[in-house]
Amino acid sequence: MEDYKCALFGDPSRPKVCSDYQAEHEFCGTNKSEALQILYSLEGKSNYLFPEE
């Protein structure tokens, strides 16, 4: 999707857990770029086969 939003927004079948989720700055940053940087960092730290140096 071009706007990067979940396709379930506005859909009555969207699970309650999704609408109840509150993003935290520590994990989501303040914008898409920060969020991706945090995500990539966490993925690298959780990869035991190729740990970050």
Rounded to a whole number of angstroms, the CA Rg of the chain reads 15
Q: By the 8 A CB rule, do 37 and 31 touch? A: no
At position 3, the amino acid (one-letter code) is: D
pLDDT of residue 45: 78
The pLDDT tens digits of the residues spanning 1-53 come to 566 667 777 888 888 888 888 888 998 899 989 999 998 888 877 776 666 55
Distance between CA atoms of 46 and 37, rounded to whole angstroms? 14
Q: Delimit the domains of the chain by residue range.
A: 16-45
Distance between CA atoms of 45 and 43, rounded to whole angstroms? 5
